[in-house]
Amino acid sequence: MIAEKTRDVGNRVGGEILRGNAHVANLIIEKERTALVVIDLQKGIASRQTQPYSADSVIENASKLANAFRLMKMPVFLVRVSHSPGSMLKTISDSGFSAGQDLPANWSEIVPELGPKDGDIVITKRQWGAFYGTDLDLHLRRMGINNIVLCGIATSYGVESTARFAYEYSYQQIFAEDAMSDLSAEAHRVAIEAVFKRMGRVRKTFEILKALEQSR
């Protein structure tokens, strides 16, 4: 369980008080039941301009989280999106992406700063979210994981789509706000303030790292 200490009355789960609207003192992470899920930090996406954080900054913070999880023998899931001929969604929409069919050969490769390293699990998806059409949920449940730390690019696309599925599948979530970014600062802000704070807890990378250190 990802829980939070507070002096105010909250919802109790497994003996801990979870944050509602109460003032939060300290984040507590139960390492045996928590995994890191990194969304789309791959060469074809990380090469784009992002806001409010640069892709390099996002990769740096995500790498810090991944290394901390690995050090503590906690699961790290590296999610990438890959399109094979005929697999791209053919949605009739007012606005869409202009990626086209001919992508570079290394477009879906995970950035080298992240790995994959020994023990990491790579999930390949064909759309925004990491749950639909993949075995991510199966892996998590068989490992006894019910809490995920989520980060990646882009905040309002791959990260948010994954978060919405996770919420409906009853996972507890914590969002590494400075280990994700978007195509615009406004899209990032709206996802954080209007969506993520209603589905879980939003924290900075250093706060999550501190909680991991305290969970040893």
- Interatomic CA distance for residues 77 and 136, integer angstroms: 8
pTM over 0.75: yes
Q: What are 53-84's pLDDT values in tens digits?
A: 999 999 999 999 999 999 999 999 999 998 66
Per-residue pLDDT averaged across 105-124, rounded?
93
Mean pLDDT estimate for the chain: 86
More confident residue, 141 or 23: 141
Which CATH code fits 31-83+106-214?
3.40.50.850
Instruction: Supply the pLDDT for residue 85.
Output: 56
User: ∠ at Cα 55 (50, 61), nearest 5°?
Assistant: 130
- Provide the 10 A C-beta neighbour count for residue 64: 16
Residue 11: is its pLDDT beyond 70?
no
Strand ranges for the chain from DSSP E: 2-5, 11-13, 16-18, 26-29, 34-39, 76-81, 121-125, 147-153, 172-181, 201-203
Per-residue pLDDT averaged across 94-110, rounded?
71
Residue 89: pLDDT band (50, 70, 90) is low
Handedness of CA 122, 125, 129, 133 (dihedral sign): negative
Torsion of CA 96, 112, 39, 118, to 10 degrees: 150
**Residue-by-residue DSSP string for 93-150:** -SS-----S---TTTTSBPTTT-PPTT-EEEEESSS-SSTTSSHHHHHHHTT--EEEE
Q: How many CA atoms does the CB half-sphere of 16 hold within 13 Å? A: 16
Of 85-99, 119-133, 185-199, the poorest mean pLDDT is in 85-99
* 3-state SS assignment for residue 206: helix
- DSSP code of 51? B
Q: What are 119-177's pLDDT values in tens digits?
A: 999 999 999 999 999 999 999 999 999 999 999 999 999 999 999 999 999 999 999 99
- Interatomic CA distance for residues 143 and 135, integer angstroms: 12
